[in-house]
Amino acid sequence: MSTFGSHAASENETFHLLVTIARRSRLWRGKVKNKTLLDIGTGPLATIAARDFNCQVTSIDVSKEAQKEAERAGLAQEINFEKEDANNLSYQDGAFDVMISYGALHHNPPGKRRKLIEKHIE
């Protein structure tokens, strides 16, 4: 068991804290503060971006599970959830300042992964 401050943390809590720090660090390095952000494959980064970086977040996925997570965090009003396919987005070029995708690429077939990345990189 690890300790942070005066409170003992379980291994699961410690792991969750370290993962959250790593995610916040990625957003901080990406300078996303006060940006419009497209989150492909919704996840915790959208919640962190909205809550801690004052981002206007649109989170897309083919699933609705992440919306429930945002509701539990009290951020459902801060994040616009839409059902979209990352390989066929309906948004105009330049609609967002930043696009993030953390852990969603592996859900695409290998042949589509490179196309997806190249399509969204300037």
Higher-pLDDT residue of 52 and 62 is 52
**Superfamily of segment(s) 7-120:** Vaccinia Virus protein VP39 (3.40.50.150)
Q: Smallest Cα–Cα separation from 81: which of 48, 118, 31, 40?
A: 40
Q: Is the confidence at residue 110, as pLDDT, over 70?
A: yes
pLDDT given at position 60: 87
User: Structural domain boundaries of the chain?
Assistant: 7-120
Q: What is the pLDDT of residue 5?
A: 52
Residue pLDDT, tens place only, 25-55: 888 988 999 999 998 887 788 889 999 999 9
- Reply yes or no on whether the pLDDT at 20 is more than 90: no
Single pTM value for the model: 0.74
